C-alpha cells in the first residue's frame, strides 16, 4: 500500500466569511446627493444597509417660527427643489384653512394646472436621470428638452425657473399673462407628442428591463411600515392618492380625467412605469384645467389680505399629493403673525427609510438601480 502524505496550506483569513463595512457617499448634491449609505457586505452581497442623513439639514422647521405667513412660503418652497410649486401649496392651504378663507375659483383651477405642470417637470427629471444611472445617457437629453419647453411657460407666469414663489395666502400672486393659456396648451401638446421616446427608448430597452425587473421588490407591508407614499407605494400595489381619496383644489371635479396609476410587482421597473404613466396623466389633467379656465368668467385671482396677517389660535394639518408622495404641514398658531410651530412631513424622508428593507440580500451591483428607483431629493430628506 502506497503511503499518503497530507499537506496543510495556510491561506489566512481571506478564506473565511468576513463582513466588510462600506460607506457610499456623501457626495455632491447634484449626484444622488449628500446622503450616506452604510453597507455591511458579505462578498458582493449586502447584508445590512443604513441610510445616514442630515448632512444638508437647513433647520427649515425652526426657521418657520421666525418668519411671518408670507415669508414662510419662500422657506417651504425649497426642500424638494423639483416640486417647488407643490411645496408652496401645502403651506397656503394650511393657513387658508386656519383663516376659514375661500379662494376664488380662478385661483383654484390655476393652482391645479400649475401643480400638474410642476408634477410633469419633476417626473421628467427622474425619467431622464434614472436610465443615466444605469448607463444609458441618451434619455436625459430628451428629458431636459421637454423640461425646457414646460419651464418656459412656468417662468413666464411666475418669473422663476425652479423656485416659483407664485402662491399666496388667498390665491396667487397675479393673473395669467395675456395669451399664456394658449402657449401653455402648445407646450403640453409638444411634450405629449414626444413622450413615446421614454416608452420606446427606455422601456423597450432589453438591458434596462434586465437591470430593473425583479430587482428591489418592496412589499405592501413594508410600504405601510415605513410610511412610503407616491408612485413608489402605488408600484407596490398600495392604491392611495390624495387627489382622488381626499380631493383638494379642483381634483374633485377632475375625477373623470384623473387616473391613479398602480402596479403590483413593486420592483424597480414597476416604479419607473408608474412614474412614466403618471406623467402622461398629468399632461391630460393640465389640458382639462386649461379647458375649464377658458370657460371661467373673468374674476379675481386672490383675496385681499390685511397688512399684518395673523392666523387664529389653533392647529391644522394640510397634506397634498406632491410629485414624490405625500407632503404635509402641521401648523400650530397662537394667534400671532408667525407660526408657533410648523412641522413638515416630506415624502422623500419616509421613502428613503425603505432602503433598510430593500437593500439587504441584494448585490452591490444592484444598489444603484434600487437607490435611483426611489426617486428622492436630498433636500426633501434633510429639511
Q: What's the start-to-end Cα distance of the chain, in Å?
A: 78
**Distance (Å, rounded) from C-alpha 121 to C-alpha 97?**
28
What are the domain boundaries of the chain? 20-52, 60-382
Position 55 scores a pLDDT of: 84
CA 187 to chain centre: 22
Asked if the bond preceding 26 is cis, omega within 30° of 0, the reply is: yes
Residue from 379, 310, 338 nearest 71 by CA: 338
pTM comes to: 0.91
Distance of CA 114 to the CA centre of its chain: 15
* CA separation for the pair 241, 231 (Å, rounded): 9
55 CB-near residues (< 8 Å, 6+ apart): 26, 34, 35, 36, 382
CA distance 19 to 13: 12
Torsion of CA 376, 164, 293, 319, to 10 degrees: 50
Q: What span, in angstroms and rounded, lies between the C-alpha atoms of 328 and 93?
A: 10
Residue matched to cell numbers 445616514: 52
Strand (E) positions, 199-323? 314-322
Residue-level pLDDT at 9: 45
The pLDDT of residue 11 is 47
Q: Is the distance from CB of 185 to CB of 317 less than 8 angstroms?
A: no
The residues, any chain, with a CB within 8 Å of residue 238's CB and separated by 6 or more, are: 220, 223, 224, 228, 262
Q: What's the pLDDT score for residue 34?
A: 80
Q: How far apart are CA 98 and CA 110, in angstroms?
A: 22
Exposure string for 133-153, b = 16+ CB within 10 A, e = fewer: bbebeebbebbeebbebbbeb
309's grid cell: 396677517
Contacts of 91 (CB under 8 A, 6+ apart): 72, 73, 76, 167, 318, 329, 342
- All residues at 6 or more sequence positions from 70 whose CB lies less than 8 Å from its CB, including other chains: 168, 169, 309
Query: What CATH number has the domain spanning 60-382?
Result: 1.10.645.10
- How do the pLDDT tens digits run along the chain, 383 residues long? 566 655 544 444 444 556 788 888 787 655 556 888 899 998 889 999 999 888 887 788 899 999 999 999 999 988 888 999 999 999 999 999 999 999 999 999 999 999 999 999 999 999 999 999 899 899 999 999 999 999 999 999 999 888 999 999 999 999 999 999 999 999 999 999 999 989 899 998 999 999 999 999 999 999 999 999 999 999 999 999 999 999 999 999 999 999 999 999 999 999 999 999 999 999 999 999 999 999 999 899 999 999 999 999 999 999 999 999 999 999 999 999 999 999 999 999 999 999 999 999 999 989 999 999 999 988 888 87
Residue 305 grid coordinates: 389680505
Q: Cell 411600515 maps to which residue?
A: 225
Amino acid at each position: 500500500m502506497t503511503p499518503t502524505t497530507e499537506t496543510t496550506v495556510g491561506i489566512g483569513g481571506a478564506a473565511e466569511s468576513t463582513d466588510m463595512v462600506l460607506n457610499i457617499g456623501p457626495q455632491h448634491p447634484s449626484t444622488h446627493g449628500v446622503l450616506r449609505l452604510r453597507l455591511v457586505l458579505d462578498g458582493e452581497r449586502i447584508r445590512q444597509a443604513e441610510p445616514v442623513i442630515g448632512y444638508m439639514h437647513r433647520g427649515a422647521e425652526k426657521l418657520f417660527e421666525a418668519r411671518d405667513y408670507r415669508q414662510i412660503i419662500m422657506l417651504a418652497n425649497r426642500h424638494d427643489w423639483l416640486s417647488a410649486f407643490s411645496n408652496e401649496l401645502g403651506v397656503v392651504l394650511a393657513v387658508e384653512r386656519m383663516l376659514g378663507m375661500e379662494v376664488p375659483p380662478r385661483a383654484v383651477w390655476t393652482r391645479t394646472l400649475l401643480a400638474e405642470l410642476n408634477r410633469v417637470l419633476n417626473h421628467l427629471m427622474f425619467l431622464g436621470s434614472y436610465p443615466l444611472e444605469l448607463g444609458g445617457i441618451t434619455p436625459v437629453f430628451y428629458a431636459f428638452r421637454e423640461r425646457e419647453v414646460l419651464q418656459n411657460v412656468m417662468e413666464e407666469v411666475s418669473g422663476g425657473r425652479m423656485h416659483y414663489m407664485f402662491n399666496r395666502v388667498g390665491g396667487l400672486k397675479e393673473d395669467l399673462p395675456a395669451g399664456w393659456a394658449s402657449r401653455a396648451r402648445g407646450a403640453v401638446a409638444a411634450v405629449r407628442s414626444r413622450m413615446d421616446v421614454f416608452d420606446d427608448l427606455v422601456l423597450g430597452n432589453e438591458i434596462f428591463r434586465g437591470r430593473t425587473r425583479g430587482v428591489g421588490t418592496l412589499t405592501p407591508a413594508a410600504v405601510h411600515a415605513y410610511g412610503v407614499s407616491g408612485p413608489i407605494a402605488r408600484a407596490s400595489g398600495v392604491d392611495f392618492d390624495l387627489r382622488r381619496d381626499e380631493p383638494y383644489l379642483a381634483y374633485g371635479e377632475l375625477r373623470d380625467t384623473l387616473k391613479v396609476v398602480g402596479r403590483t410587482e413593486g420592483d424597480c421597473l414597476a416604479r419607473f412605469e408608474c412614474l412614466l404613466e403618471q406623467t402622461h396623466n398629468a399632461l391630460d389633467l393640465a389640458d382639462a384645467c386649461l379647458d375649464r379656465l377658458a370657460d371661467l368668467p373673468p374674476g379675481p385671482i386672490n383675496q385681499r389680505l390685511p397688512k399684518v396677517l395673523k392666523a387664529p389660535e389653533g392647529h391644522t394639518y394640510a397634506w397634498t399629493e406632491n410629485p414624490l408622495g405625500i407632503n404635509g404641514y402641521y401648523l400650530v398658531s397662537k394667534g400671532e403673525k408667525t407660526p408657533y410651530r410648523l412641522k413638515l412631513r416630506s415624502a422623500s424622508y419616509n421613502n428613503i427609510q425603505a432602503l433598510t428593507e430593500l437593500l439587504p440580500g441584494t448585490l452591490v451591483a444592484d444598489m444603484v438601480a434600487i437607490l435611483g428607483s426611489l426617486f428622492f431629493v436630498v433636500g426633501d430628506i434633510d429639511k
